[in-house]
Structure formats: structure tokens, C-alpha cells
A and B are shown apart, each in its own frame.
Chain A
Amino acid sequence: MDHTRRVYNDVFEMLPGPENPSPLVRINAMSVPGATLYAKLEWMNPFGSVKDRAAWAMIRELERDGRLTQERGIVEPTSGNTGLSLAAMASARGYRSRMVVPNKVPLEKKVLLKIAGADLDVINDNLCPSPGMGDGSIGLAKTHARAQPDKYAMPNQYENEANARAHMETTGPELWRQSDGKISHLFVSLGTCGTATGCARFFRERNPDVKVVAVQPSEGHDVPGLRNKSELHVSALFDESLLDEVMEIEHELAYTRALDLSRREGLLAGPSSGLIYEGARRYAERDPGAVPFGVMIFCDNIFKYVSNMIKHMPELAEGTTA
């Protein structure tokens, strides 16, 4: 494997790590006076998102434990990105996969899962939220895994420590090296909370002065992969004590800022990146000079959200037919 020439024996060699970090790109047109912000472009990972890291760590652990075989594949609840990484990895390694997604996940992601070779269960997770736990996509995936243990193993990104560990072992060390130890702030989003918890654990050990700031959407959002704080109880990896601050941003801005990033920075960032940018911007503006080296995790790009973008900005569809 030779990362300088970028010639690889298989797609797995391209997965990120301290020797092959995802790129850090400085924000220019949309910068905040007195602050330096970098975006870590996770969509440059081979399967297109930050979730390559968790997916790979979980698959390798299942393989190590002998739980994946020609007969036994993977079932996982997903808002799309983890599923896409898992499905593509599973297909390339000869395992079956089945992904359970909430209906509100954009069509692009559902179709991508099928393209990557997954069987798809789409379920209406939009019912009045029931106070009981266990229905919905997580419940259905658990049902598959328990009813057919010979056919499915469930990585369960929401509870799997390997998810956080992936970030402790890759994202954190990459950032440390890429910034020459100068990183002062890390801005993350909260979904499974693997990114937040794993990176924060790394920095608590390496340099506890690094501030870890989480940015979450306001209630009623439609940003796949993210949870409002009121929904975080399903994320066993959520550990608020590791976070210096949790900011809430009006969820509509996820899409507006994503558009700005495309048009002004040339960064074709997805909505969770848009939201994180807005959080980082406000944080940096609040206290000029306080963010000498801030990094934002840009989880994925805008390609999978065309239908959502049109929903939020119908004018984007204008003039698209002859």
C-alpha cells in the first residue's frame, strides 16, 4: 500500500487512518474574523462518509469473533451512511446485508443501499413517538437478529463500543497529526455519538485543553443521521461529560448553510456539515480570537440529499427540464 502514489490492492486499503487521513481544508470565503476553521472532509472516504470508520471497526470485530460467515451476514438500523458503508463492505467480502431505514430517509440513500447490495426494510418511524423503547428501525433490526441468529449479526452502531473506538484510533490521531498538535476546538454532530465520544476520549488523554463542541439540530429536524438531544437516549455512546458544550441550531439552517458551502467555498457539503458550520461560526463569533485552530467534521457530501434540498428550496428544481 502506497499512499503517496495512491495505488491500492483493494478498496479497503483506502480507508482512513493516521497514515491516510481524510483531508483538512481551511475555510476561506465563509471564515470568521479572528478564527481559523478547517473542515475535515469525511466524504473523501471510500464509501462516502464519516461512517466508513465505525462500519469498518464493527465489521472487523465481527470477523475477529467469527460472527460473519457465508451464511451469516449483517442487519443494521441506519439513516443511510452506516448502512451504505456496511453494505458495500459486506458485499465486497461476500456477506449478505439487510438495512432497516426510517421512511423519512431521502430516496437517494435508500436506492444507494440497494445499489450496494443490501436488502432494504423501510419502516414508518414517523408515528407519534411512543414512550416505550424498541419499536421503529432499531426494534425491527433487533427482531431480525434475534429471530434469525444464523442469518444475521447486528453490529448495532448505537451501542457498539467499536464505533467510538474507531474515532479514538483514527479520527483523533489524524487530527492531532494534521494540526501538528495545534488543534484547539473540534466541532462535531451527534447521531450515534461515536464521533463525539471517540474523539473526545482521544483528546482528553492527549490534550485536555482541546474543546469538543457538539452541534445539534432543533426539534422536528429532517437531517438524517442526527438526533436532537431529546432523542439521544437511544445512543448508548452519548456521554455529555466529555463535551465542553452542546449547541442547538435551528434545523432549517442545515440545508441553507450546506448550499452556502457549495456556492461560496466549493465544498459540496451535506446538511449535517452545514449545521456544524453554523455552530462553529456562532461559537467563533461569540468570542473573537478564541478559536485559533478549529476543526469541523464534515460527515458527508450533498449528493445524497438532492431530494431534501429540493424540498427545502423548491427553486432548485426550476429550469431542470427542457
Chain B
Amino acid sequence: MADYANPKVLVTTDWVQEHLNDPKIRLVEVDVDTKAFDAGHIPGAVGFNWQTQLQDQLRRDIITKDNFEKLIGSAGIKRDDTVVLYGDNNNWFAAYAFWLFKIYTHEDVRLMNGGRAKWLAEEQRPLTVEATKVTPVEYKVDQVNTDLRAQVGEVLEGIRSGVKLIDVRSPDEFSGKVIAPPGMNETAQRGGHIPSAASVPWATAVNQDGTFKSADELREIYFKKAGVQPDKPVIAYCRIGERSSHSWFVLKYLLGVEQVKNYDGSWTEYGNLVGVPIER
């Protein structure tokens, strides 16, 4: 069985437990439901709130470089630390945070395979409510990698030039039957999908226990069935950019697709635009 392209970026729950006392390994939890972290987290972890800490609080945008530096520095994370991300909902926002760390070119970032659900399912794994003591540090970003992010102009251009678009939302969102999954606040004016996009729901990449499928299975899904070509540009999108971060991670790090971008504006931007083409 062929391996993941970058096996190092994925760590197991066993690995995390073995490294709980390693000062160079920094755990960061990012959840959809931010109650989870307060109720109990892996000892030593810090929690980021995706709404208030990972987004710009004025414009609709990711946090600025300055604010990222402040956030990471205040969590006591050094530029050469190994950051291990995990969270609920199959690591949706953990993957989103992973993408942010990579935009701000943090070298060693990893994802805990299976997320908090797997940790919780394994009886012997510790959880605590104790706040992790951190010593703030100066954290400096020397470079920003904008190649990981697609903005709307590039998406519209991509429709014309035949860039592979991957819609990772549920089949009902793809078809326009619903605009957002039930209970979600962020929606759009119109339902449907970006013309030419292939529907590959994010969940097709994971096993029952929340871990990623094998490299062979993933190749079958993305290369054979969805027609992704590993040496061609790809853009993944969803509704607000978190589920597509998850698929972006799979494509880039597990399958080694070099030119894959996450369109974080996603349907809540595209489905609100005036005059753009939509398919159902």
C-alpha cells in the first residue's frame, strides 16, 4: 500500500500521549462548538476560538499577520515549535487553523488523526479543565504564503481556464436543495454550486472513527472518481472555508497535490455575488 505524500503532518493519539510533556510540542484545540474546550481538553493544550480569534473582527477575512503574531505569541508558541492541532467535528476547524498556520509559514504543523472524538473514545486518554500555563513570547512571521488561498477573482478565472473545482459540501448543498446545513447561521442568497465543480463531500475522506482513509482509498476518490490531476491546479470550497480546509489538507499533504488552494470565501461569498454563474 502506497503511503501518504507527507506522513509527518499526521500524528496519532498514541503519539500525542507519548509527547504530552515535551515542551517543544504544543497542542492547540480548535472546535466548532467552543464549549468543548472549556469542558475538558488534552493537558497542555491551548484553545483558539475560530470566530473571535482566527477571523478578522472587522472585515470578513482571516486574521492579519499582526494579529496572528500576537495570538500565537500570547499562547507561548515559538516559531520553531511543533504545533499539533486537533478539534471536534473531524478536525474541521483544526484543519482551518492548520491552513492559517501554513499561510503564515509556520514550519512544523501537524494534525492529530481522528480529532477530539478519537481521543475521547479511547478510555485511557486524559482530559483536564486546568488552564495551561503559558509564557508569552515574541512570535514573528517572516513570510506569508498566499498561494494556499484562492480569492474570488481567481475562482471566476478558474471556471474559464478549467481549474479543477472541488465542492466539499453535502449533496443537498451542492444541488441547491438547501443553502446551508440545518442550524447554521451563515448562509447565502442563492443555492447551488460553482459551474464545473465536482462534488466530493469532505466526509468521503474519513473512516467511521474519524481518521483519514488510506492513501490508496483517497487516490481512488480524488484522482480516479473526481478527476483531480495531481500536477494541475485545484481549488476546494465549502460554505465558510472550514470543511474545505479539511479536504485541502487531504489533497495537499496526504495526496501531494502541489497546487491546491482553499477558497475560504466559499459559498457564503459566491452565493451572494451578483451576476455570477451558478449551476444546480
Q: Which residues from A are CB-within-8-Å of B33?
A: 123-124, 135, 140
Is the beta-carbon distance between B36 and A132 smaller than 8 angstroms?
Answer: no
Is the beta-carbon distance between A130 and B89 smaller than 8 angstroms?
Answer: yes
Identify the closest chain A residue to B211 (Cβ): A132
Q: Is B59 an interface residue (CB 8 A)?
A: no
In the complex, what distance in Å separates the CA atom of A146 from the CA atom of B119? 11
Is the beta-carbon distance between A126 and B129 smaller than 8 angstroms?
Answer: no
In the complex, what distance in Å separates the CA atom of A133 from the CA atom of B35? 17
Task: Select which of A130, A131, A148 is within 8 A of B129 by beta carbon.
Answer: A148
Interface of A (DSSP majority class): loop
Identify the closest chain A residue to B128 (Cβ): A147
Q: Which residues from B are CB-within-8-Å of A143?
A: 36, 39-40, 120, 127
Identify the closest chain B residue to A139 (Cβ): B120
Is the beta-carbon distance between B39 and A131 smaller than 8 angstroms?
Answer: no
Identify the closest chain A residue to B87 (Cβ): A135
Is the beta-carbon distance between B90 and A130 smaller than 8 angstroms?
Answer: yes
Task: Select which of A103, A121, A132, A148 is within 8 A of B210 by beta carbon.
Answer: A132
Q: Which residues from A are CB-within-8-Å of B184?
A: 127
Would you list which residues of chain A between 127 and 163 have a CB under 8 Å from chain B? 127-128, 130-135, 139-140, 142-144, 146-148
Would you list which residues of chain B between 136 and 159 have a CB under 8 Å from chain A? none
**With A131-B90, A132-B209, A132-B210 as given contacts, are A140 and B39 in contact (CB-CB < 8 Å)?**
yes
**With A127-B183, A128-B181 as given contacts, are A144 and B39 in contact (CB-CB < 8 Å)?**
yes
Is the beta-carbon distance between B129 and A134 smaller than 8 angstroms?
Answer: no
Is the beta-carbon distance between A132 and B183 smaller than 8 angstroms?
Answer: no
Is the beta-carbon distance between A133 and B209 smaller than 8 angstroms?
Answer: yes
Q: Is B182 an interface residue (CB 8 A)?
A: yes
In the complex, what distance in Å separates the CA atom of A139 from the CA atom of B37? 12
With a 10 A CB-CB cut-off, give which of A103, A123, A143 has the most chain B CB atoms. Answer: A143
Q: Is B206 an interface residue (CB 8 A)?
A: yes
Q: Is B261 an interface residue (CB 8 A)?
A: no
Would you list which residues of chain B between 162 and 216 have a CB under 8 Å from chain A? 170, 181-184, 203, 206-210
Q: Which residues from B are CB-within-8-Å of A130?
A: 89-90, 117, 203, 210
Would you list which residues of chain A between 14 and 35 have a CB under 8 Å from chain B? none
Q: Is B118 an interface residue (CB 8 A)?
A: yes
Task: Select which of A104, A134, A148 is within 8 A of B120 by beta carbon.
Answer: A134
Q: Is B115 an interface residue (CB 8 A)?
A: yes
Q: Which residues from B are CB-within-8-Å of A128?
A: 170, 181, 203
Interface residues of A, CB < 8 Å — how many? 22
Is the beta-carbon distance between B36 and A140 smaller than 8 angstroms?
Answer: yes
Q: Is B88 an interface residue (CB 8 A)?
A: yes
Q: Is B79 an interface residue (CB 8 A)?
A: no
Identify the closest chain A residue to B182 (Cβ): A126
**With A124-B33, A126-B183, A143-B127 as given contacts, are A132 and B208 in contact (CB-CB < 8 Å)?**
yes
Report the minimum CB–CB distance from B250 to chain A (whole Å).
Answer: 14
Is the beta-carbon distance between A135 and B40 smaller than 8 angstroms?
Answer: no
Report the minimum CB–CB distance from B43 to chain A (whole Å).
Answer: 10
Q: Which residues from B are CB-within-8-Å of A103?
A: 183
Is the beta-carbon distance between B117 and A134 smaller than 8 angstroms?
Answer: yes
In the complex, what distance in Å separates the CA atom of A126 from the CA atom of B180? 12
In the complex, what distance in Å separates the CA atom of A127 from the CA atom of B169? 12
**Complex interface bits, B113-125 against A, C-beta within 8 A gives 1, otherwise 0:** 0111110110000
Identify the closest chain B residue to A146 (Cβ): B127
Report the minimum CB–CB distance from A309 to chain B (whole Å).
Answer: 20
Report the minimum CB–CB distance from A77 to chain B (whole Å).
Answer: 12
Report the minimum CB–CB distance from A158 to chain B (whole Å).
Answer: 14
Q: Which residues from B are CB-within-8-Å of A139?
A: 36, 88, 116-117, 120
Q: Is B32 an interface residue (CB 8 A)?
A: yes
Task: Select which of B35, B40, B41, B115 is within 8 A of A132 by beta carbon.
Answer: B115
Identify the closest chain B residue to A104 (Cβ): B183
Is the beta-carbon distance between B90 and A132 smaller than 8 angstroms?
Answer: yes
Q: Which residues from A are CB-within-8-Å of B120?
A: 134, 139, 142-143, 146
With a 10 A CB-CB cut-off, give which of A121, A132, A139, A148 has the most chain B CB atoms. Answer: A132
Report the minimum CB–CB distance from B218 to chain A (whole Å).
Answer: 15
Report the minimum CB–CB distance from A228 to chain B (whole Å).
Answer: 15
**Complex interface bits, B79-115 against A, C-beta within 8 A gives 1, otherwise 0:** 0000000001110000000000000000000000011
Report the minimum CB–CB distance from A83 to chain B (whole Å).
Answer: 17
Is the beta-carbon distance between B129 and A124 smaller than 8 angstroms?
Answer: no
Report the minimum CB–CB distance from A130 to chain B (whole Å).
Answer: 5
Question: What are 6 A-B residue pairs whose CB atoms fall within 8 Å in the complex?
Answer: A124-B32, A126-B182, A133-B117, A135-B36, A139-B36, A147-B128
Known: A130-B117, A135-B117; 11 extra A-B contacts, CB below 8 A, are A127-B184, A131-B206, A132-B90, A133-B208, A134-B210, A139-B88, A140-B33, A144-B39, A144-B40, A146-B126, A147-B127
B residues whose Cβ falls under 8 Å from a Cβ of A = 32-33, 35-36, 39-41, 88-90, 114-118, 120-121, 126-129, 170, 181-184, 203, 206-210
Return the 8 tightest CB-CB contacts between A and B, nearest first: A147-B40, A132-B210, A134-B117, A126-B183, A143-B40, A147-B127, A132-B117, A143-B39
